[in-house]
Structure 1
Amino acid sequence: MKRTRGRIVHVESLGDLDRRLAAGARRLSGWRVRAVDLTGHTAELRRCRVAGASFLGCTFAPGVADDLSAAGALVLPAIPDVPVDVHRAALYSPGDLYDTELYDGSLDARAYAWAQRTGATEHELAKTLHDHAVDQALQAWVQGRQLVGVMGGHAALRGERGYAEAARLGHLLGARHVVATGGGPGAMEAANLGARLAGRPARELEAALAELAQVPSYRPSVTAWAAAARTVTDRVADPRETLGIPTWHYGHEPPNLFATAVAKYFRNSVREAILLEICDRGIVFLPGAAGTVQEVFQDACENYYADESSTAPMVLVGEEHWTRTLPVWPLLQALARGRAMESHVHLVDTVEEAAALVGGG
């Protein structure tokens, strides 16, 4: 993500706008006014210098939007029949996405169903605007935080050893860093769970794992799967921060409820690149299939061309998996040989070893 300079002022209510104007604000450069009804504020707007301001999804009196554009403001109208806020200023919470008791009626399900439609130009524009807004919100969120990524297969079921190992890894890493995952089920959910409980005794994590094992998968019922997770999150009043970055491209896989912040994208290619980029403290790769292999070599490509100061640890967990089941490790070693990344790529057999290598244990 590109870093931006300057102060951005988010205005999301008429009251907030009125307070700022009453305090003497007249230069609106850098302001982002979102989804505010400004039909009664024509005179106030005309007293301001609006060059460099953005009005996103706002409504105006006739002719005012054209006047603002002519004066140098960016005016983007609301797009009808879109389930998501394309100009949102913050990341999602699990409660935003799971906003109904039954999953089929939730924002997450509605957005996925809408995303499957094709052909409407305004819908493609809405997806682009939404992902840009999420990107901006994520850029602001990661400031001042140290992130470690955990990548792994979506197929790990609650109650399985692989799921428990991913949860223990998240618990270890979350003690020092913010754990980021792809935000989906399986190992991703487990790592977010462990990180969320990182400030609590290990016995609480074990109890949560035992409880979740009663509903191993989101199939056949996402509603039941989410309800089981909610019983765990409701007991934790002070969770550690942890990030999920899922995508509606894989909308048949629901986002997990253990990430405290969720950057959900429509475009998977954007999401993949950003997920790897923001993990400045390194990435741990748990056993996975094609998607995890892709992430290994996408990260390897970044590190291959990086200098020593920009190289972050890459830790593969599971010697049998990465040398025989899917022999990624020999090729990764060959790529790293003689490069700045060589001392930063590791193959280990336990999550404890992995956590120690990226500073979490």
Structure 2
Amino acid sequence: MAGELPDYGKPDRLYDIGDLLQGYDPGDELAFVKSWDFGAYRRYISDGTAAPRTLEIRLAQAEHDARIAEALKTFLTRPTEPTLVGVMGGHSLSRRHSAYRAVAELGRYLTQRGYLLVTGGGPGAMEATHVGATFAYADDAAFAQALVTLGEEPSLPKGLGDILTKTGDLAPGYEEAAKGAGRWLNKGLEVRDRAPKHRGESLAIPTWFYGSEPSTPFAGAYAKYFQNSIREEALIAQSRAGIVYAQGGGGALREVFQDVELNFYATTVDDFIPMIFFDPDGFWQREAEFDVSGVTRPGIDVRNVLERIFRYGRKDTTQILQRVKFTTKFDEIAALIETRVHKAQHELAAMLNFSA
């Protein structure tokens, strides 16, 4: 299944799920590897991934990503600036996990209160956020049924990371991984199609750096980048009213400390973007446990290190640490975000006007 790979394109707006899944047939077991989205990923791999093989390739990727950045600015330009709240978390979180349900419930709650949620657009905790936003105005029974139905295909198959060779060709034995990804994606599309017409809006900022995993089908718009470094900067920079951290791994940790760097240099307390560590299991407040087989109880205790970092060189540590919260209480989360709404909208308006 070689096929002609798409070029990098010159988008003039953000993608929607129909754009990404162009060529995808839910009735085809191997549909996952036949979509435009996956074709773009193959192009990215064949051209050298994050280290493009030629200047021509580098320039084509750069133009695409610059156009997406411009489209994102256009998307955010409205009569009243939206209040963006980021939700970061692991891609491997099962749709059956209690933490997935909790993130979906929080996403629904925050969307109902007028916040525009932004994630990395992948599976796991990221998808849960968009599910909550999609069903923000559905009744409780429809939302609960959506989570049950999604649980019928709880996780992506193992082996997706090895589905392509380094040249962008389909690897031997790719079929099983592709079929599993298709089943996972089909279940999401089924639930999305059953959602009420009045759906909450949400924004995904994914990347082809992780293109072996399908983007969640629940976001309203997708600012998809080739260069992951630009995408990561966009994620943190756009989440101006606060960032919620669900349980995660290396990617979530990178985002935590990108946020730490930004907040470390906050001139005033009002400039500090709230950091909210959200997980019913207490993932961010305990150390992982291990035995000879590996991790038996996941966890990454970040409390002490964050306190030490923010105490270093600051005189307003007590006030700053009030904006670093470990909680699962929705009203506490909303109250903390509310302290930053006016400032976040002002900053976004200034950024949009400056770059107009």
TM-score tier, shorter chain, comes to 0.7 to 0.9
Question: Using a 3 Å threshold, how does the CA distance of structure 1 residues 237 and 84 change in structure 2: closer, same or farther?
Answer: farther
TM-score between the two structures when normalised by the length of structure 1: 0.73
RMSD: 2.0
Question: What's 2:257 paired with?
Answer: 297
Q: Distance in 1 between matches of 2:214 and 2:85?
A: 22
Residue 214 of structure 2 aligns with an amino acid whose one-letter code is P
Question: What's 2:62 paired with?
Answer: 128
Structure 1 residue runs without a partner (length 5+): 1-80
Question: Using a 3 Å threshold, how does the CA distance of structure 1 residues 273 and 142 change in structure 2: closer, same or farther?
Answer: same
Q: Distance in 2 between matches of 1:128 and 1:289?
A: 28
Equivalent of 1:137, from 68, 71, 80?
A: 71
Deviation at 1:228, TM superposition (A): 1.1
Question: What's 1:194 paired with?
Answer: 132
For 1:1-361, list aligned pairs within 5 A: 83-84=6-7, 86-99=9-22, 100-101=24-25, 102-117=31-46, 118=48, 119-143=53-77, 144-175=81-112, 176-219=114-157, 220=177, 221-235=180-194, 236-308=196-268, 309-318=270-279, 320-325=282-287, 326-337=300-311, 338-339=316-317, 341-350=320-329, 353-359=332-338
Query: Are 2:8 and 2:40, in contact at CA under 8 Å, matched by a contact in 1?
Result: no
Deviation at 1:359, TM superposition (A): 4.2
Structure number with the bigger relative contact order (C-alpha 8 A, sep ≥ 6) is 2
Deviation at 1:336, TM superposition (A): 2.6
Query: Are 2:323 and 2:336, in contact at CA under 8 Å, matched by a contact in 1?
Result: no
Residue 193 of structure 2 aligns with an amino acid whose one-letter code is D
Query: Are 1:171 and 1:195, in contact at CA under 8 Å, matched by a contact in 2?
Result: yes
Identity %: 36
Query: Are 2:21 and 2:37, in contact at CA under 8 Å, matched by a contact in 1?
Result: yes
2:322 aligned counterpart, secondary structure: helix
Rg comparison, structure with higher value:
1
1:254 aligned counterpart, secondary structure: coil
Q: Distance in 2 between matches of 1:359 and 1:204?
A: 28
Question: Using a 3 Å threshold, how does the CA distance of structure 1 residues 84 and 96 change in structure 2: closer, same or farther?
Answer: farther
Q: Structure 1, residues 24-76: CA drift from partner, whole Å, max 9, x if none?
A: xxxxxxxxxxxxxxxxxxxxxxxxxxxxxxxxxxxxxxxxxxxxxxxxxxxxx
Question: Using a 3 Å threshold, how does the CA distance of structure 1 residues 84 and 216 change in structure 2: closer, same or farther?
Answer: farther
Residue 302 of structure 2 aligns with an amino acid whose one-letter code is V
Query: Are 1:323 and 1:330, in contact at CA under 8 Å, matched by a contact in 2?
Result: no
TM-score between the two structures when normalised by the length of structure 2: 0.74
2:117 aligned counterpart, secondary structure: strand
1:180 aligned counterpart, secondary structure: strand
Query: Are 1:89 and 1:134, in contact at CA under 8 Å, matched by a contact in 2?
Result: yes
Query: Are 1:83 and 1:110, in contact at CA under 8 Å, matched by a contact in 2?
Result: yes
Query: Are 2:119 and 2:204, in contact at CA under 8 Å, matched by a contact in 1?
Result: yes
Q: Distance in 1 between matches of 2:335 and 2:92?
A: 26
Q: Structure 1, residues 292-314: CA drift from partner, whole Å, max 9, x if none?
A: 11111110111111123322211
1:341 aligned counterpart, secondary structure: helix
Q: Distance in 1 between matches of 2:140 and 2:330?
A: 14
1:354 aligned counterpart, secondary structure: helix
Deviation at 1:84, TM superposition (A): 4.8
Residue 174 of structure 1 aligns with an amino acid whose one-letter code is T
Question: Using a 3 Å threshold, how does the CA distance of structure 1 residues 85 and 253 change in structure 2: closer, same or farther?
Answer: same
Deviation at 1:218, TM superposition (A): 2.8
Residue 344 of structure 1 aligns with an amino acid whose one-letter code is R
Deviation at 1:192, TM superposition (A): 0.8
Question: What's 2:354 paired with?
Answer: none
Question: What's 1:31 paired with?
Answer: none
Structure 2 residue runs without a partner (length 5+): 26-30, 158-176, 288-299, 340-356
Q: How many residues align?
A: 280
Query: Are 1:245 and 1:263, in contact at CA under 8 Å, matched by a contact in 2?
Result: yes
Deviation at 1:355, TM superposition (A): 4.1
Q: Distance in 1 between matches of 2:8 and 2:250?
A: 32
1:190 aligned counterpart, secondary structure: helix
Query: Are 1:293 and 1:328, in contact at CA under 8 Å, matched by a contact in 2?
Result: no
Deviation at 1:280, TM superposition (A): 1.5
